[in-house]
Structure 1
Amino acid sequence: MGFFSTVLGFFGFGVGLTLGLGIGYYIFIYFQPSDVKVYTTDEQELIMEPSVKWAGNPNITVLVKAYGLKATAQVIDLQVFALPRITLKPLVPSFPCFAKILVSLMEKPHVDFGLKLLGADLMAIPGLYGFVQETIKTQVANMYLWPKVLEVQIMDPAKAQKKPVGILYVNVVRAVKLTKKDLLGKSDPYVKLKLTEDKLPSKKTSVKRSNLNPEWNEEFKLVVKDPESQALELTIYDWEQVGKHDRIGMNVIPLKDLTPDETKYVTLNLLKSMDANDPANEKFRGQLTIDVTYKPFKEGDSDIETTDESGVIEKAPDGTPEGGGLLVVIVHEAQDVEGKHHTNPYARILFKGEERKTKHIKKNRDPRWEQEFGFVCEEPPINEKMQVEVISRPSSLGIHSKESLGYIVISLADVINNKRINEKYHLIDSKNGRIQLELQWRTS
């Protein structure tokens, strides 16, 4: 029932339906949960039967044809009474919690209105009102009277958020003979890693300055949700101080090609794109060497073990809004941050107009804060983003102003779905800077 409660909670403050009239005008109908009959079945679906009543005087004009003549009339005093059945199915574990909406009518609708033409009420013509009423009821009923339905696709169920099933351990070892991108015959390469079909930010290695044969030996962990369809995507970029970073080359490793719990050492030829027919792939762009291990969860493993540290997610404190929760941000540390004039870093968090700051640490390129901040949310911030920036504050006697040492922008959808994420992020507008953040979504 927990999953059904999630879906019901989505409708807990009332439901809105937008009805298109086919002439560029839309009606928004709002009804309270007390007006709705809700059913749950053995299938992965939720069925609602609201009683819809709407009345208004919208600005609608229609074209009237009769006896070979045409005239434009205005619709007045529109009233709609209907008893629809709304089915949400199948239920899926990602927002908005259902993949399709199916709408049908449990009985013929009642639509009442007037037609005004040149100051005269057309509906006053004897016999016309009843004829129009029955025509509308018959036409609408023929299309949508149950069991006939109007089906609206919301999302592809196959792409719904899946639960983590394992961890992919990646060690980026080295690259050799990379393509020269800079004018002086050098490149400043770094590697970006991500799993396909994953909305989490990409992970990045450090930047190696003026090096066509860089050595990294940097390790990463990525959460796997579907080893049969996902692939590890690796792209090498040439870092630029100003402007867009140039892509040197890329390649992918399908996870289905990996044997669980066995380390695979791979040397990949870098390609222009993954299009097998792209003639640009024939050009040599260098090679990337990595070792990779896929470790599926054993039976009984907790989903929250997809983070760097295990532990139980605490519940939100008393007083947290029902249906909402507490978004916790733990700023652990940063590495390789450096300002032009001073390096006295602190982290600033911006979320929905609120700002929080860590303490500042003097003359330190690898600051460790270990500070926790909480944001009370009325509802899950599934579509929200959070910005975290590392800033250097000048000394009291300094003549220079504060400097930005880099920033990141985090989409919170996966934090809400997975309850906890603990990641190291490469700072944007920073050469090698990284920051480690832990985000938790606590509910009552």
Structure 2
Amino acid sequence: MDEILKALGSALRCQCSDAGVGGKQTRIYGILNVKVLNGSELNIENPYVILKLVTTTDTSIHTTMKTAICYQKGDPCWNEEFTLYVEDPDHQLLQIWLHNSSSMYDQGGIHEQVGARNWQFRNLTSKSARTQEVRFHKVKDGYEDEGDVQGKIMVKMMYTACPYYTAFEDVCPHQKAPTGTPQDGGLLVVIIHEARTLYSNHHRNPYVSLLFQGELRKTVAIKNTRNPKWHEEFTFILEQPPTKENMHFEVISTPGKGIIFRKEESMGCIDINAIDVVKERRITKCYELQNTLRGCWLTVELQWRSSN
């Protein structure tokens, strides 16, 4: 980990010295390296961990990472490492979420938000990577409940401040479309983050359906919540920039297994035009859903990675 951090720091210093100020670039103040090691006392099957940088002053979501699902029996072991770019250390915090999935043979099953923990940057060190124990609080309707504890995981974290000016676009990897993408086209990345204050009449196990250019994609369903968090990414390789096309998002509640007398219920929908992301390259926005009786919101991140 130390070697990786040194290399990243060197790259940041080089890029910061050349980065210009202005435009709509987002300044990066530092890098947070997190290695998710293992878990214990979780008492759930098929767990995985979501790391999320959020801003405390609004509902913005800046970076989200997810471990693989651990299907092995006993205490899970991930040993997965992630790098997150910090834009505002005074008003951002790291959220660590624990989810469990359906079995590996039932990919269409319902997932569950099991535990959560917020981590302030003042609790992190910039001198050396430190292994820390993260005890999860149980989740109540999509939010951390500081009552009961739901197991723990071990993580290794280090925050390194960037003393120079740099821009997100200069340091965030994978900003170019993959090899083989049409020359005049690019890669459209859609990340469905979360929804808030959803409403349905009979059940609330929401998932998101995304329809774009005739292709239908779906997130997993999250069990019994009005405030689900998915953080699922979908990609579309396009021959031309999507300047005149809409993406249709619909949040749907599924009744789950064993309930044969209930049908799926729509919890709201929204059409999003992709033209703005072609101009801005990266957009994260909270959209108010239509065709719903109450105010319901869906947070979506769009990225456009051109071939040139």
What's the TM-score bracket when you normalise by the shorter of the two chains?
A: 0.3 to 0.5
Q: TM-score, normalised by structure 2?
A: 0.48
**TM-score (norm. length: structure 1):** 0.35
Relative contact order: is structure 1 or structure 2 higher (C-alpha 8 Å, sep ≥ 6)?
A: 2
In our comparison, the structure showing a higher alpha carbon Rg is: 1
